[in-house]
Chains A and B, each alone.
Chain A
Amino acid sequence: MPAAADGYVKWIPQGVPWRNWHDTVKVPIRGVAMIYPPTNLAYGSASINRTTALIQQAIAAAKAAGDSIRAVGRGWSLSDLPATSGRLLDTGQLTNMKAIRADQIHPGYPGNADARAGLWLVQCGTRISQVNRVLESDAVGRSLRTTGAANGQTIVGATAAGTHGSALGFGALHDHIVAIHLIAGPDRQYWLERASRPVLKDSLPATLGAEVRRDDQLFNAVLVGLGAFGVIHNLVIETRKRFLLKSVSFDKAANGKPLLLDAAMRRVIATLDFDSHPLLKSPAGHGRPYFFQPIIDPNSKPSEVLVTLMYERPWKAGYAPDYRLADSTFGPGYDFLTVVGRLLDVFKPAVPFFAQVAKGQLFDTSARTGSWGEIFGFKVTRTKVASGSVAVPLERALATLDLLIGLNQDIGPAPLVFGCRYVAKSPALLAMNRFDTTFVVSIDGVHNKTSMNFFDAIPARMEAAGIPFTQHWGKVNGYTPARVAATFGSDFSNWVAARHVLLPDAADRALFSNSYMKARGLDI
């Protein structure tokens, strides 16, 4: 019998339904296969191979039992994307990362010197918080270009669902990825890269026993793969030189009154012309903002806006990031929004007040300077938040905002706020950020019936208005088979074709499927 230090799979049958981290999904499952990796090996080919064998052991057991199996890290998604009625494969302890050496890089890699210095191999269960902490250390001196608003997700969980931020001119979190190590069954594994951007020499994936496939289409399919291609064990990401962000927020105009969604603000939102707005004009020497996020309260009349701007600043020698949660005093507790959500279904007139509270809970708007990992750090709020997104081409930004505000007036008030974010286009076939500049309205707040009704009504309204849109796979969304096919067109059929190439056996495709995929016509 192997020693525990060699790593093992622990099968934990589940007598109670599985719930996601935010407590918005509750499904009965057969059980969880916990992957406990070896502790007697440093992260390298031997350790990876042993862990791959454990993952394949868990997949084989599921296949033998006729169960589906889906990898899950933190269960951070607010939708039932990772869920299954079969087995969950827990990757939460596969938390290693290491730099790629210069001599390991493929001669055809087109990245410049800075890119070559910033390639990192990251294991699937590594949390964004850990990636930030390692990269931003003095020993490394690197940084991610963007993340979501929080850092609790695992890197594969977040990227497989298409998580994004609002870094102007850069894409989503998955757009850091340049190589993927995919476990596609009990006896099949791939090392995927783009043909147009080879990254590692073949000798390295060969040490893993992985079949190397350099193919743009296959890579871009798995990049936002929704867990449908198997278990992603490792990734290679590109990072950038570390930097600081100076964050400033405005909720008052120059006259001291609330900042409103007036003509000047609408112009900035639609054009990103910051110089056109006296309050949002960049201070001398700051350049164009790195990050921009207006948050609109649709329950105030006229709509009030809270704006966060962040400017890139050089890293200061000796700067030590503080990643800790802030000390708490008496105030809203851990599950505050859950309680509020239940009460607001009964006391609807209180919605505008509590929308203000939710805004404060969900968005950190204090002025500060810090590293990326500090500013987009831990969130206290864990349970029962409502969250969904609508993404459109930038030129349809104002029409979309007006539509959503009107929808809230018609069926609300819903205890939600609208956070506006900007994401550059991704080559990933099923990326939410598929428009040249994708304007994303992140709709967040209190989870209750009114909020859910609001989310349910969005797709039909958008279609009636003729606005092309996508939604976040990992949040509440209204995707149907027809909408997926219409939204993604040939990219969707190419995604399906890629799945058939990498998983040629129907039984293996079924192994990694779930009801979420079937309901959206993705499992064909």
Chain B
Amino acid sequence: MRPHAGLAVALSCCLSACASHVIRAAEAEPYGVAGQPFTVGQTSIGGARGLSTAGSGHVTRDECRSDNLAEVEVRRNVGQTLVTLLTLGIVSPATIRFTCATQRPAPPPTPDDGL
């Protein structure tokens, strides 16, 4: 293996060869599961959202109990990247990690019952 290729492989391993892209809300009070984001696998087929472990992708009702997300991250690991490359992008799997925004507004400041 040529030295440059070796360095590239070493650097790739060093950085875990993953891709990560994140967008988050400015007032982020996120919650997931035990501090971790919820995770959904999605595979794009022919440029469309073909397969998803979350079915139609409407995840927030059950997980968040609200319609608001705090943060969405798209991740691809080495295997997913390889599948995308080998299929020339026709099949492109990724992992979507998301956290929900706090579902409730600030509580009222005055008590309303025995406690």
- Residue A257 lies at the interface, judged by CB distance under 8 Å to chain B: no
Task: Tell me the bound Cα distance from A20 to B20 in angstroms.
Answer: 18
* A315 CA / B35 CA spacing, docked (Å): 34
Distance in angstroms from B101 CB to nearest chain A CB is 12
Q: Does B114 contact A (CB under 8 A)?
A: yes
In the complex, the answer to whether A32 meets B115 with C-beta atoms within 8 Å is no
Given contacts A134-B106, A137-B106, A334-B20, contact A34 B33 (CB under 8 A): yes
Looking at chain A, what size class is its interface with the partner chain? Answer: 35 or more
Q: Mark A202-241, 1 if CB is under 8 A from B, else 0.
A: 0010011000000000000000000000000000000000
| Contact across chains for B109 and A140 when beta carbons are under 8 A apart | yes
Report whether A96 and B107 are in contact in the complex, using a CB–CB cutoff of 8 Å.
yes
Bitwise, B22-49 to A at CB < 8 A (1) or not (0) is 1010111101111110000000000000
Q: Across the interface, do B36 and A129 meet the contact criterion of CB distance under 8 Å?
A: no
- Which single member of B24, B31, B113 contacts A42 (CB below 8 Å)? B113
Residue of chain A at shortest CB distance from B16:
A342
Known: A43-B107, A95-B102, A98-B108. A323 touches B27 (CB 8 A): yes
Interface residues on B, range: 20 to 34
> 0/1 per residue, B72-115, Cβ < 8 Å to A?
00000000000000000000000000000011101111111111
B114's contact among A18, A19, A44, by CB below 8 Å, is which?
A44
A75 touches B14 (CB 8 A): no
Q: Which residues of B contact A208 (CB under 8 A)?
A: 115
**A88 interface hit (Cβ, 8 Å):** yes
| A140: B residues at CB distance < 8 A | 109
Closest chain A residue to B33, Cβ basis: A32
Interface centre among B20, B26, B110 (most CB of A within 10 A): B26
Residues of B with C-beta under 8 A to A343: 14
Q: Which of chain B's residues have a CB closer than 8 A to the CB of A97?
A: 107
Q: Is A395 an interface residue (CB 8 A)?
A: no
Give the distance in Å from the alpha carbon of A20 to the alpha carbon of B34 in the complex.
8
Contact across chains for B33 and A325 when beta carbons are under 8 A apart: no
Residues of A in contact with B (beta carbons under 8 Å apart): 12, 18-21, 32, 34, 36, 39, 42-46, 48, 72-76, 88, 90, 92-93, 95-101, 104, 121, 127, 129-130, 133-134, 137, 139-140, 204, 207-208, 323-325, 327, 333-335, 339, 342-343, 346, 378
* 9 A–B contacts, CB within 8 A, in A order: A18-B36, A39-B65, A44-B112, A44-B114, A75-B34, A92-B31, A92-B32, A134-B106, A335-B20
